[in-house]
């Protein structure tokens, strides 16, 4: 039998009306216009068959980490580009640089099973060892235990923000000035001793400082009337009196037997325990000298005054390294009280300014060059003291009141308004060097920190808040030989120094 039959013809010869099929859109001839041909979707083509990609149902069902709302380009897709019209729309909406219009490879390879990626990720996390902070750093000490170790009552401490009412000796004695009286406490025996009382005519005690390694039991004091005296804490007797000068005292600092004292008239007086008179003085400032610090080697003196000028005096050459503006090493926009020399790098110094400066400057006196500007840490807070760690490259700063940018060029604090706060307000903050990154910041007092001093071990800091009338000790660093030892920091002592 012949099977040739025309479509629409039944096998039994019955006449059935012929149905006319309507062509679909998919079978429309390509003879249409160019505009209609552009509308043909490319999704109807089987690219995997055309390029010879093997079909794998397991891989086709594999989950990916790609976002189903963001386009990703696989290895089997043709290049896709944005059109000029898309660019115009994106530009009008501000998305011209957005990732929505930027195609990128997916997070996984096209045919890589997800389980392998998870295994590799788990293995990398297993073998990754986070870098632990050094046991010497403040990150492992002050940051781990932010509470104070010891607290002392301090009623009557001078509220002058430029006073130096506290000092820590090499024999572990903490001395504190209360108006006209000076006390000290031996931190080993906890014995409190009233060292002396100055006459009413001398005015309150403005600054005190212990001698260094040669005579650690000698304490010097200076008053607001200009009197300067030295006392022996062991015999509790006065051993020197340099009260001929009537210019009020600023900061003071010992270098063996030589005591440098800042004056209100801009001078820096030098006294020697072996002589009854002033041995010499330097002139470089025009305003009250607040900050005075000898370098660790005793070759230079760094000084800062009320106007923010900083000078470094070379004792051997008997001249200033920064005598005029052409050689000016650093300049603050506010008074400078806080000065600290690095104990591990010769010539490295840090200075801090008060309102309206509020910045820490770090520089090297051996590189007097305009092309080598100092490192600057802006705090918008009064910087009251600075201390370098002798065990690591870290710098501690203490802070008082703060202000905002809008208040920088006006009188501070604004009348009738509460002073603003910043992350540095009333804090004790540790910075790394030379990155100047903040390591840890602790607010140990509810009021501004007026002054601080570092202990003989180079690990602990005493801070004083005159408004709060408290003195607190914090463990900031650890010595390298103290690793793994019990430091007794869990005990909190409460006592009074009067």
Query: Using one digit for the tens of pLDDT, what is the confidence trace for 256-288?
Result: 999 999 999 999 999 999 999 999 998 889 999
Domain count, the chain: 2
pLDDT the model gives residue 489: 40
Q: How far apart are CA 178 and CA 156, in angstroms?
A: 5
Residue that finishes a domain, picked among 78, 105, 126: 126
Residue 8 in domain: no
Q: 190 and 87, same structural domain?
A: no
pLDDT single digits (tens) 460-484: 999 999 999 999 999 999 999 754 4
**Together in a domain, 101 and 159:** no
Question: What is the bridge-based pairing of β-strands 228-232 and 218-223?
Answer: antiparallel
When pLDDT is averaged across residues 342-352 and rounded to a whole number, the result is 96
Helices (H) and strands (E) in the chain, counts: 5, 29
pLDDT interval class at 82 (50, 70, 90): low
Residue that wins the pLDDT comparison between 23 and 384: 384
Residue 181 pairs in a beta bridge with 178, 197
Q: Is the pLDDT of residue 36 over 50?
A: no
| Same domain for 457 and 349 | yes
pLDDT(168) > 90: yes
Instruction: Give bridge partners of residue 177 from the DSSP assignment.
Output: 182
Final residue belonging to a domain, choices 75, 104, 126: 126
The answer on 427 and 278 residing in a single domain is yes
Rounded Cα distance between 198 and 299, Å, is 33
pLDDT of residue 419: 67
- Quote the pLDDT of residue 122: 75
Question: With a threshold of 0.75, does the pTM exceed it?
Answer: no
The pLDDT of residue 386 = 98
pLDDT for the residue numbered 50: 47
Per-residue pLDDT band for 13 (boundaries 50, 70, 90) equals very low
Residue 339, in any domain of the structure? yes
pLDDT for the residue 24: 46
Q: How confident is the model at residue 316 (pLDDT cuts 50, 70, 90)?
A: confident
> Average pLDDT for residues 170-183, to the nearest whole number?
96
Q: Are strands 192-197 and 205-210 parallel, antiparallel or unpaired?
A: unpaired
Does a structural domain hold residue 24? no
Q: Which of 126, 159, 182 is the last residue of a domain?
A: 126
Q: In the prediction, which pLDDT does 328 show?
A: 57
Give the residue-averaged pLDDT of 179-200: 95
In this structure, are 201 and 283 located in the same domain? Answer: yes
Buried b (16+ CB within 10 A) or exposed e, 425-452: bbbbbbbbbeeeeebbbbbbbeebbbbb
Q: Is residue 100 assigned to a domain?
A: yes
Q: Residue 129's pLDDT is what?
A: 66
Residue 320: CATH number of its domain? 2.130.10.10
Asked if the structure places residue 385 within a domain, the reply is yes
Same domain assignment for residues 74 and 183: no
* Strand intervals (E) in 68-140: none
Is there a domain that residue 44 lies in? no
Q: Does residue 211 sit in helix, strand or coil?
A: coil
Residue 83 is part of which domain span? Answer: 51-126
Q: Which of 58-72, 154-168, 413-427 has the lowest mean pLDDT?
A: 58-72
Query: Residue 37 falls within a domain, yes or no?
Result: no
Q: How confident is the model at residue 34, as a pLDDT?
A: 47
Shared domain for 353 and 470, answered yes or no, is yes
Q: Are residues 172 and 118 in the same domain?
A: no
Q: Which tens digit of pLDDT belongs to each residue from 375-429?
A: 999 999 999 999 999 999 999 999 999 987 656 545 555 444 556 788 999 999 9
- What pLDDT is stored for residue 85 in this prediction? 79
Distance, CA of 223 to CA of 231 (rounded, Å): 14
């Amino acid at each position: 039998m012949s099977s040739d039959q025309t479509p629409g013809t039944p096998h039994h010869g019955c006449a059935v009306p012929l149905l006319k099929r309507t062509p679909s859109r998919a079978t429309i001839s390509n003879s249409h216009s160019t505009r209609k041909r552009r509308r043909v979707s490319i999704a109807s083509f089987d690219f995997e068959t055309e390029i010879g990609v093997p079909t794998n149902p397991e891989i086709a069902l594999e989950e990916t980490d790609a976002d189903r709302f963001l386009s990703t380009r696989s290895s089997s897709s043709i290049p896709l580009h944005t059109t000029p019209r898309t660019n115009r729309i994106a530009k009008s909406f501000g998305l011209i640089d957005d990732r929505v219009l930027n195609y990128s490879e997916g997070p996984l390879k096209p045919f890589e099973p997800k389980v392998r990626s998870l295994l590799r990720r788990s293995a990398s996390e297993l073998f990754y060892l986070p870098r632990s902070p050094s046991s010497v750093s403040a990150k492992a000490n002050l940051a781990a235990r932010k509470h104070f170790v010891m607290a002392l009552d301090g009623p009557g401490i001078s509220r002058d923000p430029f006073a130096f009412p506290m000092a820590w000796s090499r024999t572990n004695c903490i001395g504190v000035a209360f108006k006209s009286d000076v006390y000290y406490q031996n931190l080993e025996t906890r014995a409190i001793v009233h060292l002396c009382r100055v006459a009413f005519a001398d005015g309150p005690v403005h600054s005190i400082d212990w001698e260094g390694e040669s005579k650690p039991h000698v304490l010097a004091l200076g008053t607001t009337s200009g009197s300067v005296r030295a006392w022996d804490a062991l015999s509790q007797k006065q051993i020197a009196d340099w009260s001929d000068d009537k210019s009020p005292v600023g900061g003071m600092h010992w270098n063996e037997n030589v005591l440098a004292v800042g004056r209100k008239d801009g001078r820096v007086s030098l006294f020697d325990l072996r002589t009854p008179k002033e041995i010499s003085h330097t002139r470089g400032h025009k305003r009250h000298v607040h900050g005075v610090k000898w370098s660790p080697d005793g070759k230079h003196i760094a000084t800062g005054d009320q106007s923010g000028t900083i000078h470094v005096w070379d004792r051997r050459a008997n001249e200033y390294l920064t005598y005029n503006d052409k050689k000016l090493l650093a300049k603050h926009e506010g008074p400078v009280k806080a000065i600290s020399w690095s104990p591990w790098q010769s010539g490295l110094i840090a200075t801090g300014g008060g309102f309206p400066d509020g910045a820490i400057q770090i520089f090297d006196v051996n590189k007097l060059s305009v092309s080598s500007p100092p490192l600057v840490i802006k705090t918008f807070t009064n910087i009251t003291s600075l201390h370098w760690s002798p065990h690591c490259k870290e710098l501690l700063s203490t802070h008082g009141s703060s202000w905002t940018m809008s208040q920088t060029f006006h009188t501070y604090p604004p009348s009738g308004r509460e002073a603003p706060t910043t992350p540095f307000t009333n804090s004790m903050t540790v910075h790394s060097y030379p990155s100047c990154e903040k390591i840890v910041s602790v607010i140990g007092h509810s009021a501004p920190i007026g002054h601080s001093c570092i202990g003989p071990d180079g690990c602990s800091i005493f801070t004083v808040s005159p408004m709060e009338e408290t003195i607190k000790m914090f463990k900031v660093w650890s010595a390298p030989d103290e690793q793994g030892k019990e430091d007794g920091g869990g005990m909190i002592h409460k006592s009074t120094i009067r």
